[in-house]
């Protein structure tokens, strides 16, 4: 298939490479030429604008930072809509607000362009191993056309509901993972400050009701002091900002999410934004007077 991909960063690059390895012809555009270098040895054509990508491809994936970036790529003067033929499918795999996804889909529809919001969970490791969890919003018939491509990038692919529903599911994911990371960091810091071996505490907790994938995987990374980003703290800050904005719009109380959002704000403000979210432990150590 002729597939477009825009957004070749930490996540998008390995996702696009999975599609190339599956035998598909890629059509790429990137703001930075360096982002295109990993694609020199695969079947890929680089274009001068998103509009040119849309003209060459039947399905275009986007994986960018936030809603304004998606809108620029899809709806800008040289965006996808400017070069698209009727029947093009645009699949946004970024994490943006549900209302933004609905707005973008509605603006593409008059041009005969189908739209799916399909945010992912699993981080860079999941993208590299084609093991992402993909949560999709949009028409069922369009989802079925794209499903074989989703399955090249992820191990769990679920149609949640109409346009925007994928982003609601991703917001729920970010609530659980953000609060979970903060809870594990608090527990391990508490153990250490109490003079107890945090590794032994984690080992004990893994055998009881406190078990979680975050305690197992991220807890071990905290113990190993492995803060290399698979999912940067500023990204989780942005995602929880979306959660809190949606909570405000809906009139919902999300107290745990609100507290965790403040912690990620503090991480970014203290210079930890480009480290993995597990660096929450370093922030708590600083707050309790320990050397990080």
- Does residue 170 carry a catalytic annotation? yes
Residue ranges of the alpha helices (H) in the chain? 12-21, 50-56, 67-75, 80-83, 98-108, 123-128, 140-153, 165-193, 198-205, 213, 219-223, 233-250, 255-269, 280-287
Give DSSP secondary structure letters for 136-177. Answer: EES-HHHHHHHHHHHHHHEEEEEEEESTTHHHHHHHHHHHHH
Q: Is the dihedral angle over the CA atoms 94, 174, 261, 201 positive or is it negative?
A: negative
Q: Is the dihedral angle over the CA atoms 140, 142, 148, 150 positive or is it negative?
A: negative
How far lies 145's CA from each of 32, 162, 221, in Å?
31, 16, 38
Choosing from 139, 155, 170, 282, the catalytic residue is 170
Spatial CA neighbour of 136 closest among 15, 123, 151: 151
How far lies 2's CA from each of 45, 69, 180, in Å?
10, 23, 40
**Residue 20 tokens, joined:** 């190339």
CB distance 8 to 93 below 8 Å: no
CB atoms near residue 190 (< 10 Å): 14
**CB-based contacts of 86, cutoff 8 Å, min separation 6:** 111, 112, 113
Write out the catalytic residue numbers. 170
């Amino acid at each position: 298939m002729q597939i477009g991909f825009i957004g070749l960063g930490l996540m998008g690059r390995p996702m696009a490479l999975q599609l190339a390895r599956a035998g598909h012809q890629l059509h790429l555009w990137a703001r930075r030429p360096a982002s295109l270098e990993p694609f020199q040895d695969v079947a890929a054509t680089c274009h001068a604008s998103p509009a040119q990508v849309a003209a060459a491809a039947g399905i275009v994936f986007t994986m960018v930072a936030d809603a304004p970036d998606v809108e620029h790529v899809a709806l800008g003067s040289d965006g996808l809509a400017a070069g698209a033929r009727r029947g093009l499918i645009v699949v946004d795999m970024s994490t943006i607000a549900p209302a933004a996804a609905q707005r973008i889909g509605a603006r593409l529809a008059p041009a005969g362009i189908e739209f799916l919001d399909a945010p992912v969970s699993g981080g860079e490791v999941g993208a590299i191993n084609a093991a992402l969890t993909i949560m999709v919003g949009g028409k069922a018939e369009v989802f079925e056309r794209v499903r074989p491509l989703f399955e090249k990038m992820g191990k769990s692919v679920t149609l949640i509901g109409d346009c925007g529903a994928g982003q609601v599911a991703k917001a729920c994911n970010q609530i659980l993972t953000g609060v979970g990371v903060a809870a594990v960091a608090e527990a391990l810091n508490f153990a250490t400050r109490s003079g107890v071996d945090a590794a032994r505490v984690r080992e004990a907790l893994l055998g009881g009701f406190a078990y979680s994938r975050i305690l197992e995987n991220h807890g071990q990374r905290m113990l190993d002091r492995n803060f290399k980003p698979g999912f940067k703290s500023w990204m989780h800050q942005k995602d929880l900002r979306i959660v809190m904005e949606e909570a405000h719009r809906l009139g919902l109380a999300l107290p745990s999410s609100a507290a965790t959002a403040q912690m990620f704000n503090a991480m970014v403000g203290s210079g930890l934004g480009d480290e993995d979210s597990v660096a929450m432990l370093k922030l708590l150590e600083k707050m309790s007077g320990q050397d990080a």
